Structure 1
Amino acid sequence: MMKITVGELLQLPAMRGAELIAGQGGLDRIITSVNIMEVPEITRYIKGNELLLTTTYPIKDDIKAQRRLIIDLHREGVAALAIKPIFYGNEVPAVMVELANELNIPLIRLPDDASFNDILNPVLGEILNRQASILRRNEETHQALTAIVLAGGSLEEIAQMLATLQGCPISIHSANWQRLIFSVPLQISEHVPGSTLQAMKELALGLNENLMKMDALHAADGHYRVVRDGLTLAFRTHPVTVARETFAHLVVWLFLPDSTGYDILAMEQASTVVALEITKLRAVATVEQRFRSYFIEDIIQGKIESRSIAISRGVSYGWDLGASFIPVLLEIDEFRRFYHQPEPSPAQILRRLWNAVSVSTAVYARGCIVVDRGTRILALLRATGSVGGQDAGQIIGGMAEMINEELREQENVSVSFGVGRRIEDILGLRTALNQATAALEIGQLINGPASVTSFDDLGFYRVLFANHNRDAMNQFSQDLLRPLLESDRSHNTDFIHTLEIVLKCNGNLRAASRELFVHYNTLRYRVSRIEEMTKLDLGSFQGMLNLQIALMIQRMNRHRSAE
């Protein structure tokens, strides 16, 4: 600990004979200066973290003033009060002792022969020496970090330097708490058991916002304590922020009982260097990702016509394009709304989506190929074999759940998935991508946000999606539904919604009336009006089929016009 505490003050030679008589719980208070009280209104001249020396002569006969003094010192954040009680028969007034214990303000009784000058000078000297030591250490930290940056050092080197400097483990995490680095000091006290280090390492791997909210005892200033298998693990988090965006998290793992023995300034200095390094890594990753996306786009556009050439080029990116793949297309639901708000920006939202996708593929689908397509992300999931005994559907479902949970907590957004058919030849990616696109767009339409829709589950929508004669389809839908739509607009008749529910219930009017919360006879009247206006019989298969198709076309058109 670089700053002097009240407990350490009592160990100094200048405090020989001094006795702590109250405020045991405040021994860890920091002392930054010393003051002497010999006037009644001392609170106008004191400041936080001071050691106050006094005989309390101005208030020796005023019990209310003695009580008020303790309360005022507590309010101002004074570190400790040291009294030379020569005017009280060498006993500190009971009211001051009682209140100091209640407020945890260290109350020290000085010996009769104590000289304030003999205390003042050594304590100030100790404070100045420690401050000079802090400045030297900060300079050493600055030079060490600068050397790492100039040498093109990595996050591993930064973490190792910090761990050695702090004398305790350091971990660096991504913005969404994925552990990137865990480093331990080169030399660790023999009193630290290996089980503690292992528990810290394992907890760092599973660190996340939920754990810190639900499972950890949270103290002030980012301090946390978590109990694991009977071990109490303490750590402090330091966010690495750039332009109000969290880039990463620095975590210092503390050895108990001394959970404050580290240099906060060093962590703050390191945060700047980590931000620079992560910015550099992001820039490199962005360029690499752009080239990967260009390559996959060339395959989709048919610019690469040889399978062997595609496989050969894929090797340079670490991909085995000779495998079978299942295309999965992801998109944030209603992404357009982020174009019209300052925070978070569309770029920030997409970056957080990428972070969530990276974590989910690392957990569920290692080796998955992920590229961007504007505001969408294309993931090519290897279809050969399974992962951890799970089939493709389970893997995609797990990814969708993890990504949506992560983004829902961060930004209250949802992500939908469209899944195309398995391809054995990478050159068939264009067709499979079209299928995934249809599944994504129609799935958002018929299943709502946060949906996972497979192309094979689209049913008749696949026919509508593939039909290029959209004018004929639209005319078919308008001819049947126009009277109902006009009546709904002009008279609020709700015919379209009624028709949707009747068809959903397969023509069962009693079931439909319950879902619509209307009387059975009311629904029968509505159905008769629908049949009259459309000139179709809802009791016949042909009539129900025509109206179902017309509604499906209308939903697709509504979805396309909203894009």
Structure 2
Amino acid sequence: MAMMPRKEKAPGSQSEEVVFTVKELLAIPLLKEARLLAGEKGIHKAITRVNVMEVPDVISWVRPGEFLMTTGYPFRDEPELLRQLVPELVKRGVAALGIKTKPNFDKLSPEVVEEAQKHGLPLLELPGDTVFSDLVRIAMERVLAQETSQLADLQNRIQSMTRLLLEGSGLYAFLDAMEDMLDNPVAVVRENDKPWLSKSLRSAEPTEVWPLMQSLTFRQVGRGSSNGFMLLQNAYRIYVNSIPTRKMKQACLVLIERTRDIHPLDALSVDRLSSLAGLELANVEAVREVEGKYLDQFIQDWLSGKIVSEADWKLRADVCGCTIPEGTPMCAILVGWRAPEPAEKLREIARRLRSERLRTVEGLLAAPIGDDLALVLPIGNLAFSDLDREEATAQLTNKLLAELRALLGDRDLKLYAGRVVERSDGLQGSWAQAKRARQVAEVCGLPGEIVAYDRLGVYSLLYLIPSGEEREQFLSRFAAPLQQADRKGGGRLVETLEMFFRCNGNIKLTSEKLYAHYNTIVYRLEKAQSILGVSLDDPEDRLQLHLALKLGQITPGIPG
């Protein structure tokens, strides 16, 4: 995938930093005999420190901006290791690599030189009489002279950003100010959350920044919690620093190399400003926590019928930022899990669903209600242009289920939907229907990943039958005798009949499902018919017996 094009630096946006470069290093009298073998394009890289490498596993020790020196002794017998090391040094932001070839090498292998040239890493062949300690001293004197002025600039940067946060401008203003200061876009990337982006990325065309957004995830940016330069999968070079957080999800402050090269002072600024970003994140989290609790309570009161007037609903919806416009058709959905989820996890899932931008639906609301997770699904009027409402709602719910499964990582997740309502005060009934749909589906063993109340058919009627003498007489006639026979050791008659009806009267399939012999199933069915005085070949008897078994499983409901 093509890399996002670099933007030209705006004239006068920032003065050039005074730095000690690789080119200036080569001008030191001590290195007048040194040769630049590769990486001419990188000679303007800034050097911030000097390091000596005499072990092959140096990667975890190097730092951005280092001039790395070695006698080559660790690679004398395995020169291939040196070639493999070059791209890793580039990823770590090493400014240049100097190798004293004598006495361990006659000359560096062409493969090493080619690899350094490929990655733009300045590769220096140091004279055989080079004394590393003298070179370290001279180079660091130059570096420290530059750092004195840089520290003053860094202090000014920190003070200006601190004043911005104290004014309460917010996280986006903080990131925008950082972009102006560093001449490169910045982002806050957080675990299981969308990234916060500075202004040039927010205003860019989606097709332009889409490759970057695919890589700008915590899984890639925050892997290993490593700080420093990184190359993302799409070849973007970034500088990452972990944001200190307490009792919050992990996060990183990311500087993206887009307008110009990242200078050492820029990286140092990111390191220092990460703490300020952490304070602002904590503030965002606190606000989100309060808003989330208020929105949870609003949805709970809405679905339970505690908001009695339309005026109250409008007022509370406006205060808590409800994104469903007045007059939008909607329905309530209950999310079914394979196993009950703890209350804290339900609250976290609800917050995540509200913060994520789903492709399926705009304005989805979510809140925990007791041990359940409730969704308020707005149904756009455009969905009814070519389809009837029931079919359009079914299609939208199917798409929502697929996206929720991918987002939450639960392939066993199910949805139970109430009827679509036109007014906000009708959502209480839709929620009650969603709960009934789940109860009926569970006790009656209804198949399907989505169970809509309108498609329960006869089961919804059975649910609405209240307790009473007629109900008890019907159950006593068809269900109670079988249950009594089972308690006395009659041979699992109720279970066999239930499976018989589920298998559409297929005795062979019933025996396979119950792991029982065919003749055993025949015997049980005949015994049940004898006890009740009915015939399974009679459609009327068969219907009444089937209804009695289902009715016995359903808790009596209340019409409405």
Match for 1:158: what amino acid? F
Query: Is 1:536–1:543's contact at 8 Å kept on the other side of the alignment?
Result: yes
Measure the CA separation in 2 of the matches of 1:416 and 1:238: 40
What does residue 100 of structure 2 align with?
83
Deviations 1:288-334 (A, max 9, x none): 41563376268x14x62x55665576566666786263331333525
Q: Does 1:399 align with 2:416?
A: no
* Bigger relative contact order, structure 1 or 2 (CA pairs below 8 A, ≥6 apart): 2
What does residue 280 of structure 1 align with?
286
Give the 3-state SS of the residue equivalent to 1:417 in structure 2.
Answer: strand
What does residue 342 of structure 1 align with?
none
Within 5 Å, give how 1:334-353 maps onto structure 2.
336=340, 338-339=341-342, 346-353=343-350
What does residue 13 of structure 1 align with?
28
Match for 1:153: what amino acid? S
Within 5 Å, give how 1:3-82 maps onto structure 2.
11-14=26-29, 15-20=31-36, 32-34=49-51, 67=77, 80=97, 82=99
Pair 1:260–1:482, CA change in 2 (3 A): farther
Identity over aligned pairs, percent:
16
1:323 to 327, 346, 364: 327
Measure the CA separation in 1 of the matches of 2:546 and 2:446: 19
Within 5 Å, give how 1:102-141 maps onto structure 2.
108-111=124-127, 119-129=135-145, 135-136=151-152, 139-141=155-157
Q: Give the aligned CA root-mean-square deviation in angstroms.
A: 5.5
Query: Structure 2: where are the runs of 5+ without partners?
Result: 1-15, 556-560
Measure the CA separation in 2 of the matches of 1:500 and 1:296: 39
Length-normalised TM-score, structure 1: 0.68
What does residue 271 of structure 2 align with?
265
Pair 1:451–1:445, CA change in 2 (3 A): farther
Give the 3-state SS of the residue equivalent to 1:506 in structure 2.
Answer: coil
What does residue 362 of structure 2 align with?
366
Measure the CA separation in 2 of the matches of 1:3 and 1:42: 33
Match for 2:137: what amino acid? N
Following superposition, the deviation at residue 98 of structure 1 comes to 8.2
What does residue 183 of structure 2 align with?
167
2:502 to 487, 501, 504: 504
Deviations 1:319-353 (A, max 9, x none): 678626333133352563x44xxxxxx42442123
Length-normalised TM-score, structure 2: 0.68
1:151 to 141, 161, 167: 167
Query: Is 2:185–2:255's contact at 8 Å kept on the other side of the alignment?
Result: yes
What does residue 299 of structure 2 align with?
293
Give the 3-state SS of the residue equivalent to 1:500 in structure 2.
Answer: helix
What does residue 178 of structure 1 align with?
194
Deviations 1:354-386 (A, max 9, x none): 3125536x5444355655534444444445623
Query: Is 1:70–1:96's contact at 8 Å kept on the other side of the alignment?
Result: no
Query: Structure 1: where are the runs of 5+ without partners?
Result: 187-193, 227-231, 340-345, 558-563
Measure the CA separation in 2 of the matches of 1:381 and 1:367: 8
Query: Is 2:335–2:374's contact at 8 Å kept on the other side of the alignment?
Result: no
Following superposition, the deviation at residue 509 of structure 1 comes to 2.7
1:434 to 432, 435, 449: 432
What does residue 541 of structure 1 align with?
539
Give the 3-state SS of the residue equivalent to 1:94 in structure 2.
Answer: coil
Give the 3-state SS of the residue equivalent to 2:419 in structure 1.
Answer: coil
What does residue 5 of structure 2 align with?
none
Give the 3-state SS of the residue equivalent to 1:392 in structure 2.
Answer: helix
Give the 3-state SS of the residue equivalent to 1:279 in structure 2.
Answer: helix
Query: Is 1:84–1:112's contact at 8 Å kept on the other side of the alignment?
Result: yes
Measure the CA separation in 2 of the matches of 1:388 and 1:3: 64
Give the 3-state SS of the residue equivalent to 1:386 in structure 2.
Answer: helix
Match for 1:254: what amino acid? E
Measure the CA separation in 1 of the matches of 2:101 and 2:331: 80
Measure the CA separation in 2 of the matches of 1:254 and 1:152: 28
Match for 1:201: what amino acid? V
Pair 1:199–1:480, CA change in 2 (3 A): same
What does residue 246 of structure 1 align with?
249
What does residue 467 of structure 2 align with?
469
Following superposition, the deviation at residue 497 of structure 1 comes to 5.1
Q: How many residues align?
A: 507
